[in-house]
Structure 1
Amino acid sequence: MIKVNILHVLLIFILARTISCQNISITLPLNKTISWGNREIYGGFANLNASSTLQVDFTNVNKNISYIIFQVHSHLHNVTLYNNTYIKGSYISGTNVGLYSSIKPKLDTFYVYNPNVNINLKLYLSVHGYEKSDPIPGGCNMEFPIPISPFIQTSYNKDYILVDAAAARDSSDMICNTLDKVVVFFYKMYLPERNYDADTYFDGIKNMITMDAIDNFGEFIPENGDRMRRMLSAYPGTGAVYVAVAISTLNVSSYSVYVPTYSYACSPLVDGGCELLDDFLSQILCASLLFVGLFICFFGHRFFKTEMFLVGLISGVIITYIFISLTADLDRPALLGASVLSGICFGAIWLLFWWFYGIPLIAVLLSTLNVGFLFSAIIYYGLPGGLLALQVDLNFWTLFVLVMLMTSLMLVSMTFLSNILCCSILGAYATIFPFDYYLGSSLKYIIINTVRRAVVPQFNKAILSPPFEWRDAIISLLWVALATSGFLFQHFQNRGRPPFPPPPRNIRPVPSHLYYGTTESRRRRYETATTVIPTAIHTERTPLLG
């Protein structure tokens, strides 16, 4: 009885394995009418079992088309696409792949292989038909493994994403001698932040697969010096779909669309692969910013000496982080640890300066410089790409420092109010930073992109173009609300008080009325000065010695 049960289980396992590895074949009709804005003549989903192959043939081909681009899209897991023969130069592996086939003498038969063990895939199959005058995407390929490579390749690291495409070939140029006859434009579309759902991914691909869809949903990526490559700042956890369009310069109605691709700038399949802060020290520092930010935003000026230390600490951390990153190769925990230690020393030095000298103008200057730095970073964060003049480091940093200094000089002229304003702005930004991290929005990259520009090689060519979705809108409103309420609260809290407290040890003489607690309040001084002391009235009856 036991042997019979074991035999049944074995037969069931073999049968299930055979079914899961079975190869299937489909035939797609290609008789759909094409238009200028939509060259997709077939689009539909197919399921492919683990370790199985899908054979695709075609029938009823539209007589107006000269060639097709057959493309396959899979979410997260790679597939292998090849035609007729599975030899080197005839296949490509990836999540977004496509191959070219001419109508004459006949269309190729395509095969889609699922190399993943125990993983069944949902695929989106799309066929685009083009006329004889349309340029061939990837027709002048010199780097990719396929002679004609109509697909796009993406690569990424923690700082930026590279999007590469092979040069397109004009229909009249058989040997690629006139690359200037075809111009290639790149577009992108962000997916919802922190959303790795397959349906969201497929919707994003379909929204960037035709020219009409690209016009509706795509955002143009300007050229940054490389004709067939785009570098973009990485926002891990926020998916983006990328596509390129080849347009003939001789006839702008002739075009072709490359196979769209995507990137999350991270790996959702790896546990913690999309975490920006993946070490304990970074997470502790991020969480502590919430309490530090709230304190500075609402009580910074009231506790002036503590503010001096914290502003010096933050400035020291940023400066040291950039300096060490440029001079040494350390992992992030060690880099942050060294930066925090240096920042503590810098904050102590700045506090001692106030402790002994007590010059309000100099003390407030560092806070205004920090606000100027933040303002310059916001401008850089929102700049459109393609500004070749700002790719030169000398031009960029000169303009950056100029905006920073001008902002500081405008604020420092009103010392008392500017210090309260700086506390509210800086404290509010420090407060929203942890919220921004945990919600998955992008305002934290105001500072991160500026630091990247300073320390990451070739980041001057990166297009920032950050996403702005509902999470970003909420965080922005929270920032404005915190900064406004913090300024009003501190201004009301310090009403009637001297503008700055006295330094504990002052080695220079300073008028005493500038500090807390050394004189009566302004209202008391005014009342005392305006009070008239009545004098006695003398008459002839008043004694002479009275």
Structure 2
Amino acid sequence: MSNHQPLSGHISSGGPLLELSLGKFKNVLLNETIPAEAVLRNIDSNVTVIIFQIHTHHKNVTISFDKKPSSNNSGAGTDQGLVSILRPQQTVCTWYLQAVGADQVLSTAVSFSYAERDPIPGGCNMEFNLEIDPNIYLEYNLAETHIKFAPANLGYVRGTNPPLCDLGSSSRWRLSYEVYQYFLPENDLSEASFVSHMRKMSEVQSIRRHGTKMMTLVNQDKTDLYFSSLPGQGVIYNVIVKDPLWNTSAAYVPAHTYMCSLSGSVDNCSSLKRLSTKIFFTVLAVLGLFICFHGHRFWKTDLFFMGFIFTAFFFFITISRTSALSYDVNLGLTAVAGVLGGLLLVAYWWRFGFVILCMLIVGLVLGFLVASTVFFTPIGDYKVFQDDAVFWVTFCCIALIVPILFVGYPRVLNILTCGIIGSYTIVLATACYLYTSLSYISIDLLRRILDENFKRAFTNVPFQRNDIILLAVWAMLAIGGITIQLRREKREAPFPPHPYLIWRRERERRITNILDPSHHVPPLKERIHSKLSQIKDFFQKEQPAGERTPLLL
């Protein structure tokens, strides 16, 4: 198959006609029955390559060089492009567009030109069907998004043979690839928003101005990459290939995803948050808000809350890795295990009253959040942390340093944990109803534990208006809760007295002090027997009044 266009500018009248101008976006309504023709005229002689691309919100379209598409002259998808290598004297290019499996599909089309010194995206394709493939192929699951693209080739003059792809340093191996990521507005799945933002990620200068550069690939680097998935959040990816010798660049065809289905009836973008998740984290947030401001004063409730989080976290990891139960069942069992863990921690305190172990649990809860926050920043994308040993040693050191730093100030540690962890539950509860990147502080940690391949993913997330507002709320709640508790507990004892010792003293006092009214209280067994007798008498039939024996004769 050849990507060369015919010299003729003849346009068939069989379908809608779309007249293109270089760099100008045009909307076109496609249907499944009659292909539309897109034509670009009056191409300058210094142009050697035209990249034509078309984008739709979520419905597939076919783009091809011929009216009858085949596997090696066409592509189908939501973001598709074709490279036309121009012949000498050629001034017109034609492409054919058609909807796939839909009556009407609104799409946006554009074409860009490149000269003989500009690299050709996908020019050294050896994996995909097209001879020259400028497309970025995208796959995703709930944990990670995978993109891959064909290597580029050097540009060349019209009518000459393309450079070979397997030569030494003078060939395409000198090219470098800049990978860019662009986030659409949060909680906005509209088609209008998609179209306006896609235009920002199609041309080289605009990509560099608006996109976030994630990395640069050189030489033997693989042209397939992994990013963390953010279901419900629109993301656009694109790649700029650069020739350092001529200082020229060209852009691939951008690809976008919401990491969920916009048209599916099950598990679509509108129903990502499960009811069980909403119930779980809403209840947790109510308790967390109370702990944020009153945790240290209500010490047993505080211990229950921390024990719940600690136990639920590890139980969810264990059951997710070892069982094939559904998510809802896992979450329900996690809630039960968390309640038991919280009660056990309270029972431990009641019986033994050992503050240090309780503070170790409390400190680890805060330490895990601090460590997760550190790796949530760009630090987490350093290549060294793709090694599991390096990552987990660093993570554990950060998590352990929190309780170690406050070993001499257990009350301060507890109040800090109450304020920070309690207020963070508000963030998690909000994420059940409204997208926020802050929830991925904890989600990415779970992904790293549960998915062995997640270590290769870049974990960049958007930080937009909702995140700024929620971060401010989190900070204000945490600071407010910590300040109130520190001032209120300033003149109080650091921790309540040992409950078991108090109970034993009271028990001994009641036994030895006969003047104590409680000393004369019957044992529990006798009191229960007395109550049961009263209940039994209540249900007995009352005897009639009067003489109950025969009269004496």
In structure 2, the residue matched to 1:104 is 87
Asked if 2 retains the 8 angstrom alpha-carbon contact of 1:368 and 1:412, the reply is no
Aligned residue in 2 for 1:414: 409
Equivalent AA in structure 1 for residue 55 of structure 2: H
The aligned runs of 1:459-474 (5 Å cut-off) are 459-474=454-469
Check if 1:483 corresponds to 2:478. Answer: yes
3-state SS of the aligned residue for 2:52? strand
Counterpart pick for 1:320 among 315, 319, 328:
315
Structure 1 Cα separation of the partners of residues 261 and 365 of structure 2: 35
Q: Could you report, residue by residue, the CA deviation over 1:75-124 in whole angstroms, capped at 9, with x for unpaired residues?
A: 11111001025222111111110001111054552100012433x22221
Correspondences of 1:239-250 after superposition (within 5 Å): 239-250=234-245
CA distance in 1: counterparts of 2:84 and 2:224, whole angstroms? 25
Q: Aligned pair in 2 of structure 1 residues 150, 233: CA closer, same or farther (>3 Å)?
A: same
| Counterpart in the other structure of 1:372 | 367
Q: Where do 1:253-402 residues align within 5 Å? A: 253-271=247-265, 272-274=267-269, 278-384=273-379, 386-402=381-397
Q: Secondary structure at the match of 1:366?
A: helix
**Secondary structure in structure 2 of the residue aligned to 1:458:** helix
Higher mean Cα deviation, 46-55 or 271-280? 271-280
Which amino acid letter does the alignment assign opposite residue 148 of structure 1?
A: I
How far 1:125 sits from its partner (Å)? 1.3
For the Cα contact (< 8 Å) 1:170–1:181, is it kept in 2?
Answer: no
Does the CA contact (< 8 Å) of 1:70 and 1:128 recur in 2?
A: yes
Shift of residue 498, structure 1, vs aligned partner: 1.5
Distance in 2 between residues matched to 1:348 and 1:226, nearest whole Å: 52
Aligned to 2:451: 456
Query: Aligned partners of 1:328, 1:25: CA distance in 2, in Å?
Result: 56
Alignment CA distance shift 1:267-1:94 (3 Å) = same
CA displacement at 1:464 relative to structure 2: 0.7
Asked whether the equivalents of residues 322 and 451 of structure 1 are also in contact (C-alpha less than 8 Å), the reply is yes
Identify the residue that residue 546 of structure 2 maps to in structure 1: none
CA distance in 2, matches of 1:203, 1:284: 37
Question: Distance between the aligned counterparts of 2:81 and 2:253, measured in 1?
Answer: 6
Residues 127-166 of structure 1 aligned to structure 2 (within 5 Å): 127-166=111-150
Could you tell me which amino acid in structure 2 is paired with residue 362 of structure 1?
Answer: L
* 1:67 to 2:32 alignment: no
Contact residue 223 and residue 230 of structure 1 kept, 8 A: no
Say if 2:20 is the partner of 1:28.
yes
Q: Residue deviations 1:189-245, cap 9 Å, x none?
A: 101011011121111111111122112111011269962122111111111111101
Deviations 1:157-197 (Å, cap 9, x if unpaired)?
11111111111112366331044222211101101011011
Deviation at 1:459, TM superposition (A): 0.5
Match of 2:151 in 1: 167
Shifted more, 458-467 versus 342-351: the winner is 342-351
| 1:192 aligned partner | 185
Return the alpha-carbon distance in structure 2 between the equivalents of residues 129 and 163 of structure 1: 24
Matches of 1:214 and 1:200 in 2, distance apart?
17
Distance 1:220 1:317 in 2: 38
CA distance in 1, matches of 2:471, 2:271: 20
Matches within 5 A, 1:515-534: none
Determine the C-alpha separation between the residues in 1 that align with 2:329 and 2:163.
Answer: 56
Distance, in Å, in 2 between the alignment partners of 1:435 and 1:305 is 26
Residues 31 and 102, structure 2, Cα contact 8 Å, conserved in 1: no
Residues 222, 385 of structure 1: 8 Å contact kept? no
The answer to whether the 8 Å contact 1:436/1:475 transfers is no
CA distance in 2, matches of 1:275, 1:230: 28
Alignment map for 1:33-44 (pairs within 5 Å): 40=23, 42-44=24-26
- Which residue of structure 1 lines up, in the alignment, with residue 514 of structure 2? none
Distance in 2 (CA, whole Å) between partners of 1:364 and 1:226 is 47
Say if 2:20 and 2:111, in contact at 8 Å, map to a contact too.
no
Which amino acid in 2 is paired with 1:378?
A: T
Deviation at 1:496, TM superposition (A): 2.7
Give the Cα–Cα distance (whole angstroms) in 2 for the partners of residues 460 and 409 of structure 1.
Answer: 28
- Superposed displacement of residue 275, structure 1: 5.5
- Preserved CA contact (<8 Å) 1:29 1:61: no
**Partners in 1 of 2:336 and 2:284 — Cα distance?**
16
Letter in 1 for 2:75: I
**TM-score between the two structures when normalised by the length of structure 2:** 0.82
CA distance in 2, matches of 1:472, 1:365: 31
2:177–2:216 contact (8 Å) kept in structure 1? no
Deviation at 1:461, TM superposition (A): 0.8
Deviation for aligned residue 1:384: 4.4
Moved more, 289-298 or 266-275: 266-275
SS of the residue corresponding to residue 467 of structure 2 reads helix
Describe the SS at the equivalent of 1:262: strand
- 2:74 corresponds in structure 1 to 91
- The aligned residue for residue 177 of structure 1 is 166
**Residue 48 of structure 2 contacts residue 85 of structure 2 at CA under 8 Å; is this kept in 1?**
yes
Shift of 1:43: 2.8
Query: Contact between 1:52 and 1:115, CA under 8 Å: does it hold in 2?
Result: no
- Report if aligned partners of 2:240, 2:249 keep a CA contact under 8 Å in 1: yes
C-alpha distance in 2, partners of 1:69/1:206?
15
Task: Give me the whole-angstrom Cα distance separating, in 2, the residues matched to 1:258 and 1:385.
Answer: 28
Instruction: State the 1:351 CA deviation.
Output: 1.7
Match of 2:438 among 428, 439, 443: 443
Tell me the secondary structure at the aligned position of residue 333 of structure 1. Answer: helix
Q: 1 CA distance for matches of 2:116 and 2:501?
A: 85
Cα pair 1:53 1:111 within 8 Å, conserved? yes
For 1:125, the equivalent position in structure 2 comes to 109
Per-residue Cα deviation, 1:305-364 (whole angstroms, up to 9, x for no partner): 121122111111111112223333332112222322322232222222211111222222
Query: What TM-score do you get using the length of structure 1 for normalisation?
Result: 0.83
Offset of residue 415 of structure 1: 1.1
Q: Distance in 1 between matches of 2:97 and 2:402?
A: 59
User: Is the partner of 1:207 in helix, strand or coil?
Assistant: helix
Q: What value does the CA root-mean-square deviation take over the aligned residues?
A: 2.3
Q: 1:82 aligns with which of 52, 61, 64?
A: 64
CA distance, structure 1, for counterparts of residue 341 and residue 317 of structure 2: 15
Query: Structure 1 residues 169 and 355, CA, compared in 2 at 3 Å: closer, same or farther?
Result: same
2:213 is equivalent to residue 220 of structure 1: yes
The percent identity for this pair of structures is 29
SS in 2 for 1:63: coil
Aligned length: 478
Matches of 2:31 and 2:69 in 1, distance apart? 20
